[in-house]
Structure 1
């Protein structure tokens, strides 16, 4: 649609041009510029044309200078936009898109170390570990204050690539530069767990507690079990010292307490284990501790008397009966032990009870009962399928051949 302004403006321009042309024909005018011995003569219209061209040239130069001045701010703005898009794509787990934006904007980014760390993290998820190291080295060299952040990513990268010795070396360096940092200490803990370096974990525990790790954790049980199996020098003393450094919450954990006391029994600290088990049972009843109590290398009479005193106050269960029966065996009370084992089987058919009772019955000459019990517990442990079997012992093929050949021998 043609508007009125599109018609009027061309007419106005034509009219002005015609007027100027008429004025130039009527009188071109005269302009003299003199400076010392030099003089320039020209018409008014030529002078006006020169002035107009000069103004246009100045405007062009001004625009060019402003463009050069604003060139870097425009690149800066593009870097900000690329960084924002890269972060959003990273948070939305659109990693290829995030990688493209972060790489394109890294040179102009106001925070290039953010681009570099995020690109390292993306490379880590892609298992491109050389690229991870490259981005982290660049971030550390250009921004020394990013040593901790880049170091943590480097440790994680080596840890996930199963380069545990390399991860441990990086983590120890970080721990020296940033002592007490909770993230570094947790990485050290995870690496030691993977390496099954139980003695290092034993030494690391106090520092972990200072960082707020005050609740019981699964790796602690694994550590005690590992030390119990390896049985290094002075392991019992080290475990006792470690236990005293734990928090009340950790010492109250049933599983951790059980493994600690089991380690004391295994590492031949019977008198300390005896006091610790009795104290633990007076605070928190745990039938598993009774099995440890029955295995101590201390006089059984006092332990049996104490266990039977507990029997008057605590609920009966199969583990309790198993411990009582074993204590009776140590005192030579065969009939009483047999009764405790039988009572335990009525409460719960534990394989250990079956085996203890079968062993005792065999020793007492009750061979038929012992064999039947052993067959029953073997089937229970091996989970044999129910298959038909002969009611009477069947002769083997060899025995049959011998029976047939026997008359011919005479």
Structure 2
């Protein structure tokens, strides 16, 4: 308003100044002249000074008139824009208030203020997505889905942003199937989107879908979603879990097929190879991995692999014992290894050798398996009293180990 007043006063000042200078200039002549205007039967005669001043003032009046007319024509639009501006400012204030209420845990209040002003906002997507989070936080899942749908209607080009929010909300409620469905759709839209891949990784991991993670690893690696060390750790975990799952199904062919697909740097890890060997032994295919176990122990000594070697149902137990005894000079005081030698000797029917190995194992470090095997050996030989004593000592040792574990936990 003040701007219009300044325009009016400025124009008036210019018009008055122009009229004054015209009056002074023309008045300086002895004969300032006259003006005669004729229209039909009508004529108008006046001095040039009066005509010039009237012309200047008339121009001013017409100028003001047309400016006023233009202002009147623009007035409805200005009123409309003014209303939009007010609503927009209110929506911005509502957005800030809604975000603050959400941060403070006032979910219902945040939801109401966000939805009320969403349609007038310059960023309705943020209103609806924040309202959806607030609705879920108070357990209103129907409202959550309604707001997500409205967000999609208001911002049709924001499928990824809406989908990511939807997936995050499903994951927070452990709705893995719905989250994976949404994320799979987003991956088809943008296969290299880092946030989509990261959420897919989380969804697969929380759902225990290690086959899904296995297939996702190349994308995580190629798009630098995780660091190289994290990728290798995840890959190791995925193949370990898949081996355990295959072991639970008990299919030696499935276990062996999966093993052939595992990269060498993972297969060479003791923990992973132990899972494979144990799975094959449990599936009744221990003879197939006997050579692999032998080579692994010849390269790197590991008590877990030693125990697994002793559990192999070999087609030639004598050769199995002979192979194991080749390691004895390098590990003469390994109690676990000596127990395994005693077990293999029993399988071969050499009770004297079994007694020697088991007695030496128990003298170095008493263990429950050694007591169990020695008790079985004595029982088979008819020495019931010594066998009972071995079983008793084994039970006492097992009990003390359990008590020690309980104490360490508490």
TM-score by length of 2: 0.64
Taking structure 1 as reference, are residues 359 and 169 closer, same or farther at Cα in structure 2, changes over 3 Å only?
Answer: same
8 Å contact kept, 1:132–1:157: no
Runs (4+) of structure 1 exceeding 6 A deviation are 58-65, 383-386
Distance in structure 1 (CA, Å) of the matches to 2:378 and 2:80: 102
8 Å contact kept, 2:152–2:158: yes
Distance in structure 1 (CA, Å) of the matches to 2:198 and 2:147: 21
Aligned-pair CA distance for 1:65: 6.5
Aligned-pair CA distance for 1:162: 5.0
Q: 1:111 aligns with which of 107, 123, 127?
A: 123
Taking structure 1 as reference, are residues 376 and 240 closer, same or farther at Cα in structure 2, changes over 3 Å only?
Answer: same
Match of 1:263 in 2: 279
Aligned-pair CA distance for 1:228: 0.7
320-329 or 355-364, which deviates more: 320-329
Match of 2:259 in 1: 240
Unaligned runs of 5+ residues in structure 1 are 1-35, 37-50, 387-410
Greater helix share, structure number: 2
Q: 2:302 aligns with which of 274, 278, 286?
A: 286
8 Å contact kept, 2:286–2:312: yes
Distance in structure 2 (CA, Å) of the matches to 1:221 and 1:124: 36
Match of 2:162 in 1: 150
Q: 1:70 aligns with which of 63, 66, 82?
A: 82
Distance in structure 1 (CA, Å) of the matches to 2:113 and 2:333: 68
Distance in structure 2 (CA, Å) of the matches to 1:107 and 1:345: 80
After TM superposition, the structure 1 = structure 2 runs for residues 210-359 of structure 1, keeping only pairs within 5 Å, are 210-212=219-221, 213-216=231-234, 218=237, 220-232=239-251, 234-244=253-263, 248=265, 250-270=266-286, 272-298=288-314, 299-314=316-331, 316-359=333-376
8 Å contact kept, 1:127–1:161: no
Taking structure 1 as reference, are residues 321 and 240 closer, same or farther at Cα in structure 2, changes over 3 Å only?
Answer: same
Aligned-pair CA distance for 1:291: 1.2
After TM superposition, the structure 1 = structure 2 runs for residues 165-184 of structure 1, keeping only pairs within 5 Å, are 165-179=177-191, 181-183=196-198
TM-score by length of 1: 0.64
Distance in structure 2 (CA, Å) of the matches to 1:67 and 1:316: 96
Matched, 1:126 2:135: no
Taking structure 1 as reference, are residues 252 and 376 closer, same or farther at Cα in structure 2, changes over 3 Å only?
Answer: same
Aligned length: 327
Unaligned runs of 5+ residues in structure 2 are 1-39, 41-60, 222-230, 404-410
Q: 1:285 is paired with a residue of what secondary structure?
A: coil
8 Å contact kept, 2:243–2:279: yes
8 Å contact kept, 1:172–1:188: no
Distance in structure 2 (CA, Å) of the matches to 1:253 and 1:369: 42
Distance in structure 2 (CA, Å) of the matches to 1:113 and 1:354: 70
Match of 1:402 in 2: none
Distance in structure 1 (CA, Å) of the matches to 2:369 and 2:273: 22
8 Å contact kept, 2:345–2:354: yes
Aligned-pair CA distance for 1:368: 0.6
- Cα deviation code 1:310-350 (max 9, x no counterpart): 34335844432332222222322322223333333344443
8 Å contact kept, 1:358–1:369: yes
- Cα deviation code 1:165-208 (max 9, x no counterpart): 54454454445444465235414523651xxx6xxx34651432
Q: 1:297 is paired with a residue of what secondary structure?
A: coil
8 Å contact kept, 1:288–1:319: no
- Cα deviation code 1:66-104 (max 9, x no counterpart): 554333233323333433454455567665665455444
Aligned-pair CA distance for 1:363: 0.9
Taking structure 1 as reference, are residues 267 and 156 closer, same or farther at Cα in structure 2, changes over 3 Å only?
Answer: farther
Taking structure 1 as reference, are residues 173 and 210 closer, same or farther at Cα in structure 2, changes over 3 Å only?
Answer: closer
Match of 1:136 in 2: 148
CA RMSD of aligned residues (A): 4.1
8 Å contact kept, 2:171–2:203: no
8 Å contact kept, 1:270–1:296: yes
